[in-house]
Amino acid sequence: MYQTTYHRPSSVAEAVRMLGEAADGKFLGGGQTLIPTMKQRLAAPSDVIDLRHIAELKGITVSGRDVRIGAGTTHEEVANHSGLAAVCPAICYLAGHIGDPHVRHMGTIGGSISNNDPAADYPSAMLALNAMIHTSKRALSADEFFTGLFGTALDEDEIVTAVSFTAPEKAGYAKFPNPASRYALTGVFVAKRPEGVRVAVTGAGEDGVFRATAIENALSRSFEPSVLDGIAMPADGLMSDIHASAEYRANLIVVMAKRAVQAANG
């Protein structure tokens, strides 16, 4: 790791100010990507502004079916939140299957979606749940927020403060983990809402998380795994690497979608 200057703001406003004063500063969420990257000397921010001690970024509130999760909430907190589990167990399941216990106790939802790793789990949930992403400047829909591989609509000095969504009637997540890293080789989040079904795929797309409209249309007719029999996803636009070809990922999208629906139906 190169030399860097560490800052610990206690408010979002202070964090934004600190970044503005830094030559080449970086916000630190849970540190599950930035820290290893710095340790490998692949990132060298002049200043690290640690968001982990900002009270306003913490916590989960559930009122009725409206859910708000502070950006600084760890995966472990999401996984084990009983109020959240009562209205949207799928997101608890998803959080409980990110990484390993060390990662889940450090990593945060805000950090995960801000990084928008194409193999991260949360972006699929945000997109399928039609979540709103609240930032230090504004609120955006998940559709607007995720803009491609590691890309988001965030400005350099903009901090995700929370996500919010209305719990769907049903939701499910199924992930096929990369055998080595346990990131999503293909993960599918399905959400059945009064307005229709939304299906989002992570781990597979060359441009990061995306909605699988063919699967959405089929499931809007009938929210059963069997309606996906015979549906074939095109391999175009899917990633190909040593772990999975685009064709294999195309297959996994349908299989994981079926399993997600099965999980959603209980």
Partner 1 sequence: MGIEGIGARVARKEDKRFVTGLGRYVDDMVVPGMKYAVFVRSPHAHAAIRSIDTSAAKTMPGVIGVLTGPELKSDGIGNLICGWMIHSKDGSPMKMGAWSPLATDKVRYVGDAVAIVVAESRSLARDAAEAVAVEYDELPAVTDAVKALEAGAPQIHPEAANNLIYDWELGDAAATDQAIAGAAHVTRMRIVNNRLIPNAIEPRAALGHYNPAEDHFTLWTTSQNPHVARLVMSAFYNVAPENKLRVIAPDVGGGFGSKIYIYPEEVVCLWASKRTGVPVKWVADRTESFLCDAHGRDHVTEVAMAFDTDNRVVGLKVDTIANFGAYMSLFSSCVPTYLYATLLSGQYAFPHIHCNVRAVYTNTAPVDAYRGAGRPEATYVLERVMETAARELGMSPAELRRRNFIREFPHQTPVIMNYDGGDYEASLNAAMQAADYAGFPARREEAKRRGKLRGIGMSCYIEACGLAPSQAVGSLGAGVGLWESAEVRVNAAGTIEVLTGSHSHGQGHETTFAQVVADRLGLPLDQVSIVHGDTDKVQMGMGTYGSRSGAVGISAIVKALDKVETKAKKIAAHLLEADEGDIVIENGEVKVAGTDRSLPWFQVALAAYTAHNLPAGMEPGLKETAFYDPTNFTFPAGCYICEVEIDPETGVTEIVQFVAADDFGTIINPLIVEGQVHGGITQGVGQALLEGCVYDPTSGQLVTASYMDYTMPRAADVPSFKVSTTSTPSPSNPLGIKGCGEAGAIGSPPAVINAITDAIGNNDLTMPATPQRVWAALRKAQ
Sites of contact with partner 1 (CB under 8 A): 1-2, 40-41, 176, 179-181, 183, 242-245, 248, 251-252, 255
Distances 170 to 89, 192, 228 between C-alpha atoms, Å: 9, 5, 17
Least separation in angstroms between residue 179's CB and partner 1 is 4
**Based on CB atoms, which residue is closest to partner 1, 179 or 194?**
179
The type of residue at 213 is T
Least separation in angstroms between residue 91's CB and partner 1 is 23
Least separation in angstroms between residue 241's CB and partner 1 is 8
* Cβ atoms of 121 and 103 closer than 8 Å: no
* Cβ atoms of 124 and 142 closer than 8 Å: no
Alpha-helical runs (H) found in the chain: 12-21, 34-39, 75-79, 82-87, 89-96, 101-106, 109-115, 122-128, 142-145, 213-221, 246-265
**Based on CB atoms, which residue is closest to partner 1, 169 or 229?**
229
**Based on CB atoms, which residue is closest to partner 1, 11 or 181?**
181
Least separation in angstroms between residue 12's CB and partner 1 is 32
Least separation in angstroms between residue 180's CB and partner 1 is 4
Residue with tokens 């597979």: 204
Least separation in angstroms between residue 174's CB and partner 1 is 10
Query: Distance of alpha carbon 25 from its chain centroid, rounded?
Result: 23
Laid out side by side, the sheet with 196-202 consists of: 170-177, 184-193, 196-202, 210-211
Least separation in angstroms between residue 256's CB and partner 1 is 9
**Based on CB atoms, which residue is closest to partner 1, 23 or 242?**
242
**Based on CB atoms, which residue is closest to partner 1, 11 or 265?**
265
Would the CA dihedral through 113, 170, 192, 88 be positive or negative? negative
Helix axes 246-265, 89-96, angle to 10 degrees: 130
**Based on CB atoms, which residue is closest to partner 1, 33 or 124?**
33
If you write DSSP's letter for every residue of 28-84 in order, what string do you get? ESS-TTHHHHHHTTS---SEEEEGGG-GGG--EEEETTEEEEETT-BHHHHHT-HHH
**Based on CB atoms, which residue is closest to partner 1, 217 or 251?**
251
